[in-house]
Amino acid sequence: MHVLVVEDDARLSRLLKRLLTQDRHVVETALTAEDGLEIATSGTELDAVILDVGLPDRSGFDVARLLRRNGSQVPILMLTARDAVSDRVEGLDAGADDYLVKPFAYEELLARLRALARRPPTRKAVALRSGPFELDEATRRVTVGGKPVDLSQREFSILECLLRRPGQVLSRDQLLDYAWPYGVALTPNTVEAYIHLLREKVGNSAAVHIETVRGVGYRLREG
Ligand code: CA
């Protein structure tokens, strides 16, 4: 298995890497949430992510949420420091598949990993539709009136965000948070530029279009 370990405790990280490697897994490690997200979203095919909750830059819950929001279905095993019910619930809500309370026995970690690998993906990616727009989250394919449209990752995310909340006005900041998950410093003008590109690509069909709501944001509007 190709496993990513996101853990800021350098000693534990090294230990996990050594043990997992001995067990014939291919292991990548990240000491921060940001590095972990970068590896997980860089196109590397991962079979599992071992994710610590307490990370220096943002929580493991956030990392899990961002991965799921980006459409990743990689099995996530969360490492929590306390056996608090609220932590477990938050972890599972955030998209983790399983959790392990520190300190844990290494054999148990391996057993959980094997179980995760056997489990079929639980989150079904959905096809979002509105009027002529169809967006398939699993294949990341977008069609307008049945014709495929080639979108960049950001354009795809923006359209996805709008399609998830048809008719609802979304602010530029909301779209920024959704489509640029790393807290990259961008201005709302960036969103405007992408909306412009997106409109050119998907066209402004009479049935459904991306409407500018002055001073507020954008929405997908029918009719
Ligand atoms: Ca930690």
**81-104 confidence digits (pLDDT tens):** 876 777 777 887 888 888 898 888
Tell me the mean pLDDT in the region 53-78.
Answer: 91
Same domain, 47 and 91: yes
96 alpha carbon – ligand 1 mean position (Å): 16
Enter the DSSP assignment of 167: T
26 alpha carbon – ligand 1 mean position (Å): 22
Same domain, 74 and 132: no
85 alpha carbon – ligand 1 mean position (Å): 18
Same domain, 103 and 136: no
Structure tokens at 105: 């026995």
Same domain, 113 and 133: no
- What CATH number is associated with residue 107? 3.40.50.2300
* pLDDT > 70 fraction of the chain, expressed in percent and rounded: 91
Residues surrounding ion ligand 1 at CB below 5 Å? 8, 52, 54
Same domain, 29 and 79: yes
H-type helices in the chain, by residue range?
10-22, 33-40, 60-69, 85-94, 106-118, 153-164, 172-179, 188-202
Tell me the mean pLDDT in the region 214-222.
Answer: 89
Which residues fall within 8 angstroms of residue 195, CB to CB, at 6 or more apart?
158, 210, 212, 218
Cross-strand pairs, 130: 133
- pLDDT of 72 > 80? The answer is yes
Alpha-carbon distance of 221 to 217, in angstroms, equals: 12
Same domain, 88 and 189: no
What pLDDT shows up at residue 85?
Answer: 72
Q: Which domain covers residue 161, as residue numbers?
A: 127-220
- pLDDT of 125 > 80? The answer is no
Question: Is there a contact between 41 and 72 (Cβ–Cβ < 8 Å)?
Answer: yes
Overall number of domains in the chain: 2
Q: Average per-residue pLDDT in the chain?
A: 86
- pLDDT of 222 > 70? The answer is yes
Alpha-carbon distance of 87 to 124, in angstroms, equals: 24
Reference 91, options 119, 118, 62; nearest CA is: 62
pLDDT band for position 181 (cuts 50, 70, 90): low
Tell me the mean pLDDT in the region 7-32.
Answer: 95
pTM of the predicted model as reported, rounded to 2 decimal places: 0.57
Same domain, 109 and 131: no
